[in-house]
Amino acid sequence: MTRMKIVLPAMGEGVIEATINKWLVSKGSIVKEDDPLVEVATDKVDSEVPSPGSGVIAEILAAEGTIAKVGEVIALIDSDAETQPDDVIKVENEVKRIRDTISAVREEKIAETRVARELKSRTPSGKFLSPLVRNIAAQEGISHQELDNLKGTGMDGRITRDDILNFIEVRKRKSEVVKKPEITEMAGKPDMSVTSDASDEIIEMDRVRKLIAEHMVMSKRISPHVTSFIDADVTRIVQWRNRIKDSFLAREGQKLTLTPIFIDAVAGALYEYPMLNISVDGDRIIKKKRINIGMATALPDGNLIVPVIKNANEKNLTGLARSVNDLAERARNNKLKPDEITGGTFTVTNFGSYNNLSGTPIINQPQVAILGTGAVRKMPAVIETPEGDVIAIRHIMILSLSYDHRVIDGALAGKFLNKVKDLLENYPVDTLQQ
C-alpha cells in the first residue's frame, strides 16, 4: 500500500483559496477514481473535488469550515501498489504545476507593482514627483491630475515640499468654506434605518446572495452605467425555429431555444466591434482576444449564476445550443466547474424568460457591457414593400445594452446594438440545415 496526497486543485482564474464546506467521505472510506471527496466554496462558485485515484481514505487534514490554499494537501489516500506510481506522479506534477503558477502570478504582480510605482513617480504630463511629495500626496488624497496642475517652484518647475504643503493649506480653507451648507443639508435628510415589528419575517441572506449583492453594488460604484434600447424584428427566426425544432432535437439530441441564436448574434457583433469586448485596469484598456460570453442563469433557490461559453464566435449554432443546454442544466444542479464561470468578456441576460419586456441590466465586472433580451411579442409593425408601406403582425423584442460610459460612448453602443439587431433580423435561416 502506498499513500497518495489529495491537494486542493486550481479553482479558476484568480482563485487562490477555498473554504472546506463538507466532506463527502470519512477516514476509512473506500473511494474510486473521480468519486467526489469534498464540497468546497470560493467567492465564485461551490464545487466538488474528485478523487485522483482509488483507495482508502487514510487521513483528512482540512477540517470543515477551514480555509485551504490551492495546492495544499487536504487528505491522504492509501492506494493499491499497482496504481500508485502513476497516481503519485500525477499528483506531484499537479502540485508542481500549481506552485509554479502561483509563483508566476506572484512575480507578475511584483513586476506590475514596480511598473506602477515608476509610473506614479511622474504626473500625466511627465512632471517628476519626489518620494517625499508622493508620500504627502498619498496621505492627503491628492490626485496626479491635481499635482499636474500645481505650479512647482523648484528647479525645472519641480514641486517642492513647501509647494504641496501650501496647496494643502489652500484646499483646506476652501473646504471649510463649503462645509457648513453640506452639514445643514445632511441634517435635513431622513433616517434610512429599517425597523421591523413582531409580524415581519426576517430572512438572512445566504452566502451566494451576499456575494451577488456585493458584486452588484461594486459594479454600480465602479462603472457609470448608461442603457440604450432598440427593437428587433425576429419574425424569421421565430418561424424558422418553430418549424425545425422537432427535427433538430431528433437529429442533434438538443433542444433549440432562441438563446443560442441570440448569443451567436452577439458574438458576431463583438467580432466587428471589439471595443465592447474589453476590461478596464486603472488607466489601461485591456482588449480581449477571445470572445467568452456569459449567460445569466436563474437557480432554483432564487440566486443567480453566470456560466461562460468560451470562444463563442468559433462555435456553430449546434455547438452553441449544446453549450447553452449543458451549462444551464449543470448550473441548476450545482455541477458547474470553477473555470466554467470565469473568464467571461461579455454577458447576455434574458428578461424575456419571465415575460418581461425589457430591463436595465447591471454590468458584470470586470466587463464593460451587458445585453438584455426582452420577451418576444406579436405586434403590429410597418413593413416597407415595393408597393409601399403595409402594417403586419410581427414578432418584436426589445434589446437593452448597459455599458460603462468611462470607455464606451453612445455612438459605439448604438452601432453595436444596431449590429446585433441586423444580425438577428437577417439571420441565415435559409442556409442552415433544416
Among 103-112, 152-161, 411-420, the range of highest mean pLDDT? 411-420
Per-residue pLDDT, averaged over 4-9, amounts to 88
- Separation in Å, CA 375 to CA 130, 160, 235, 351, 361: 59, 62, 13, 7, 15
- In this model, does residue 177 exceed pLDDT 60? no
CB 408 within 8 A of CB 371: no
Same domain membership, residue 363 and residue 294: yes
pLDDT for residue 168: 85
Same domain membership, residue 264 and residue 160: no
Catalytic residues: 405, 409
Tell which wins on pLDDT, 156 or 332.
332
In a domain, 156, yes or no: yes
Per-residue pLDDT of 37-47, as tens digits, reads 998 887 666 77
Alpha helices in 280-432 (DSSP H): 317-332, 410-425
Per-residue pLDDT, averaged over 292-305, amounts to 90
Strands 369-373 and 308-309 turn out to be unpaired
Look at residues 345, 370, 360 and name the one whose alpha carbon lies nearest to residue 285: 345
Same domain membership, residue 87 and residue 167: no
CATH code where residue 254 lies:
3.30.559.10
In a domain, 194, yes or no: no
Same domain membership, residue 366 and residue 257: yes
Look at residues 7, 17, 81 and name the one whose alpha carbon lies nearest to residue 37: 7
Tell which wins on pLDDT, 133 or 227.
227
pLDDT for residue 82: 45
- In this model, does residue 265 exceed pLDDT 90? yes
CB 243 within 8 A of CB 256: no
- Separation in Å, CA 341 to CA 46, 148, 164, 165, 297: 11, 42, 47, 49, 11
What is the side-by-side order of every strand in the sheet holding 17-23? 46-50, 36-41, 17-23, 67-69
Residues of the chain with pLDDT > 90, as a percent, come to: 47
In a domain, 430, yes or no: no
pLDDT for residue 186: 47
H or E element that contains 91: helix 84-120
In a domain, 185, yes or no: no
**Which of 145-154, 202-211, 267-276, 341-350 has the least mean pLDDT?**
145-154
In a domain, 190, yes or no: no
CATH code where residue 14 lies:
2.40.50.100
Same domain membership, residue 174 and residue 37: no
Show the domain range for 25.
Answer: 2-105
- In this model, does residue 305 exceed pLDDT 50? yes
CATH code where residue 145 lies:
4.10.320
In a domain, 42, yes or no: yes
Same domain membership, residue 307 and residue 228: yes
Biggest CA pair distance of the chain: 85
Among 124-128, 194-198, 311-315, the range of highest mean pLDDT? 311-315
How many domains is the chain built from?
3
CB 12 within 8 A of CB 342: yes
In this prediction, residue 176 has a pLDDT band, given cuts at 50, 70 and 90, of: low
CA–CA separation, 313 and 271 (whole Å): 8
- In this model, does residue 48 exceed pLDDT 80? yes
Same domain membership, residue 414 and residue 363: yes
Same domain membership, residue 221 and residue 136: no
pLDDT for residue 429: 87
pLDDT for residue 215: 87
Same domain membership, residue 159 and residue 301: no
Report the SS3 class of residue 434. coil
At 229, phi and psi to the nearest 5? -130, 150
In a domain, 112, yes or no: no
Per-residue pLDDT of 84-100, as tens digits, reads 445 555 556 666 666 67
Same domain membership, residue 421 and residue 276: yes
